[in-house]
Each structure stands twice: as C-alpha cells, then as structure tokens.
Amino acid sequence: MFDSISSRLQNAFRNLRGLGRISEENVGDALREVRLALLEADVNFKVARDFIERVKNESIGQGVVQSIQPGQQMIKIIHDEMVKLLGSANAGLQLSGNPSCVLMVGLHGSGKTTSSAKLARLLHKQGRTPLLVAADAYRPAAMEQLETLGKQLDIPAYVSRGETDLLKIASGAMALARETNRNTLIFDTAGRLQIDEPLVQELVRLRDRTKPQEILLVLDAATGQEAVNVATHFDQALNITGSILTKLDGDARGGAALSLKAVTGKPIKFAGVGEKLEDFEPFHPERMASRILGMGDVVSLVERAAEAVDVEQAQRLEEKMRKGQFTLDDFLQQLRQMKKIGSLETILGLLPGGAEAIKGADLAKQEREFRHTEGIICAMTAQERHSPQILNARRRQRIAKGSGVSVTEVNTVLNRFAQMQQMMKKMGKFQKMLARMGGGAAGLLRP
C-alpha cells in the first residue's frame, strides 16, 4: 500500500518540471502525499499539519532547478526541515552536580528499566560512577529486574524492598551514594499514565526532593497519536529535559519522535536499538528523518555490516578474489559473515524501498537456500573445497547424502559457484565492492 515516499513524490512532482518556481497550487498534490507519509509513520495529525505548513512556506518561491528532478529537490527540503525539527545542539546529558540525579519517567512498558540500565552502562563507560535506584514500587518484581541488570553490568543498585514511599527511597539512595562515592543516581520510576494525577504528583514530589539535572521521558518508538498527549502532560507536570526513544530496532517508522519533539521542544537524547544492554546510542536526527519518511536507513546497515565483518578477513578475501583464488571455503566464510549482519529481511528492510520490496517476497525460501548451500559446502572434504574440479558423480552423490539435499541441488550450487568465479576474474573494479558488501554471496541468489 505504501511504496516509498521518494517514488510517490517523484510522481507528484513530475509536473513541476519546467514551471520555474514552486507555487502554492502546483505543490498541493505533493504535500498531500507528504501528509499521508507522515500519518502512516504515526506522526500526530496536528503535528503533521503544522509541519506541512512549514514545508510549504519554505518551498514556495524556490526556483525549480532544471538539472535535478524537482521531486528530489522537494524531498531534500522536507528532509532538511525534519532534521532541523528533530535535531538539537543540546543532545548530551548535563550532569554537573555531585551527586547528580537522573529521573526516568514514562508510560507502562515503554522500557524505563532497561533504558536505566543501558544509560548506567554508558555513563560508567564515560567515567562516571552511576547508582541505579529502584523507584518502581508498583509493578511486581520491577526492583528485582533492575537489580539483576545492575549485577550483569557490575553497577550497584539501591533496592529497598517493601518501601512504597518514593521520598524515603530517594533519601536512602542519596545517602548510599554519598557513602559509596557514586556521583550519578539513575531513578527508575514506575510506569504511569500521564493523566493519573496522584501518580504524576508523586513524581513531582520526587523531583522536588532530588533536584535532578535530567528528567528523561522514555517513549516507545511505536507510539501512535497519543505521543502528543503523553509528552505534553509529562512536560507540563515535570518540565522534562529530554527523552529516550526505545525499541527502534523494530519496524515502526517512529513518527512519535516528531510529535514528541514538536510539542515539547526538548531534545531526544538517546535511542534504544535492541534488547542487549549495549544496544543504546545517541539519537541521530538524520537517520530518524529518513526513517519517518520511509527512505530506508543505509547508515545503520553500513554500521551493522562494519560490526559484523572482520576487516582483515574481508581484505584477505578481496585479495583472493582478485587473484582468482576464491575457493569454496572462502565462499562459506562469506556466507557466514552475511548471516551475522542479520537475516535477509532485516538487511533488505534497511535499504531504501527495501521494506516494500520484501513485502510478499518469500524470503524464508532464500534463507533456506542459504542454509542448504552452507550444508552442502560443509559436507565436502577440505580437498574438494579447494579444488572442486575433482568432484565426480560419486563424490557429488556422497555430498548430497551428507547434507540431505538432492544431487541436482549440489550441482546447482557448484555451477553457480563456477559462474561466480568466472565473474570475479572478469570484473576487476567490482571485486572490491563485492568483497566489502559480502555481495559475492548475494550473487548466488536467483534473480
């Protein structure tokens, strides 16, 4: 239903070419498309309306550059405007006092406890001495959860079981911090609805008691239209200093980020990008803007690839390819590296328009083929892997049996591998890129 906004905008703007200037009339269709894109990304409808207005004012009167596509130009304006709105110079934490306090607040299940631990890990790495404070007296076992996470990180946690008075918890934690020389307290508070006045007042009292440098609103990236209400209420009651966007490793487009930023004006400081405690990073406005607009997230893909691929190994492979010495062993290695980056689904999902492309495609089948290929190569002897030309019919039958596939499948893999080798010999320049991207393996996929 939603092909990438880029292509839709291209269409909408096709008629702009040759007009000279962008005017209110000829930009109307395209802006409707933008509005739709924003709404599909869960940007609040009022925020979307204001944003469109801004883009309109920004773009009207601009000359249409003949050399580039007007669609591209418009997308750039929209993208820049969104980055401007999402970004902020004041993104880091301001922790000056000793001890300094950080309050984590938000709705139920937005990820406060996990984010608290992740933040503690980050601050610890930056040389601060954090103390986790379990200030959620409502949810069963919330305190144990924080304590366990603290243990995993080797960061102390202040837990006083059975205590429901937040102010007493705060005093106890601050005393402990002074005694043990911890300079940053991270308060993991209970999830609460922004309209639950008594519970919000409880937070206000905690704030007044602890005088925190940072009050961070933790928000699920998949939050819908409500993001506006949530952010407004928490900000009005507590005067938050920023926010953390969680569960960005899913496929939510994250329009909530725009809503949040638009109504509070407070910076989004961090992003939670996975279940592991190291999956936590500073917020990147450009990436978020691309994501909201459905333009893919190539930067993340490259980063992920960089993490998964061993550079030295990649260079060695590249060398081999250039010399035409690429063996089945190397091929196996490459297959495994690809797997480390993620499933085909995740990889394609990060490419522009990729999320659209994979809808309906049977990726499971491709993954299965990958696995079969891996199995087939594993069933070969070292000698066979090195010089596949010795693979006669009997050997092939043995391999087929050993890897549980048909001989035809073994033949197909070998044929494709031979073709690949041929290609590699031919393409001088392309090789480098292929080796880096792990594209050699992708070349084996049927079109």
Partner 1 sequence: MALFAEFKAGLLKTRARLTHEIKRIVSRSPRLEGEALEELEGALLGADLGMEITEQIITAVRSAYETQGQNGKDVAAIAAAEIERGLVAREQGLRQAPAGLTVVSLVGVNGTGKTTTAAKLAHLVQSQGRRALLAACDTFRAAAIEQIKLWGQRLEVEVIAGAYGADAAAVAHDAVAAGQARAMDYLFVDTAGRLHTKHNLMQELQKVHRVMDKQLSGAPHEVLLVLDATTGLNALNQAREFNKAVSLTGLVVTKLDGTSKGGMVVAIQKELGLPVKFVGLGEQPEDLQPFDPKQYAEALFGE
Residues that bind partner 1 (CB under 8 A): 1, 36, 39-42, 44-46, 107-111, 138-149, 152, 193-195, 220, 222-227, 229-230, 247, 249-253, 255-256, 275, 343, 345-346, 349, 367
Q: Which two tokens stand for residue 383?
A: 């000698």
Contacts of 38 (CB under 8 A, 6+ apart): 48, 51, 52, 255, 258, 292
Side by side, which strands form the sheet with 242-246?
157-158, 130-135, 184-189, 100-106, 214-220, 242-246, 268-272, 280-282
160 versus 229: smaller Cβ distance to partner 1: 229
Q: How far is the CB of 188 from partner 1 (least distance, A)?
A: 12
**Rounded (10°) CA dihedral 331, 336, 342, 345:** 50
> Is 350 within 8 Å of 291 (Cβ atoms)?
no
- Residue 394's CB is within 10 A of a number of other CB atoms, namely 8
> Is 115 within 8 Å of 279 (Cβ atoms)?
no
134 versus 174: smaller Cβ distance to partner 1: 134
Q: How far is the CB of 92 from partner 1 (least distance, A)?
A: 26
141 versus 427: smaller Cβ distance to partner 1: 141
Q: How far is the CB of 265 from partner 1 (least distance, A)?
A: 21
129 versus 225: smaller Cβ distance to partner 1: 225
226 versus 281: smaller Cβ distance to partner 1: 226
Q: How far is the CB of 148 from partner 1 (least distance, A)?
A: 4
Burial status of residue 198 (CB atoms within 10 A of its CB: 0-12, 13-18, 19 or more): exposed
CA atoms within 13 A on the CB side of 390: 9
Q: How far is the CB of 218 from partner 1 (least distance, A)?
A: 10
169 versus 230: smaller Cβ distance to partner 1: 230
Q: How far is the CB of 434 from partner 1 (least distance, A)?
A: 25
Burial status of residue 243 (CB atoms within 10 A of its CB: 0-12, 13-18, 19 or more): buried
| 297 vs 254: CA distance, rounded Å | 13
61 versus 109: smaller Cβ distance to partner 1: 109
Q: How far is the CB of 183 from partner 1 (least distance, A)?
A: 25
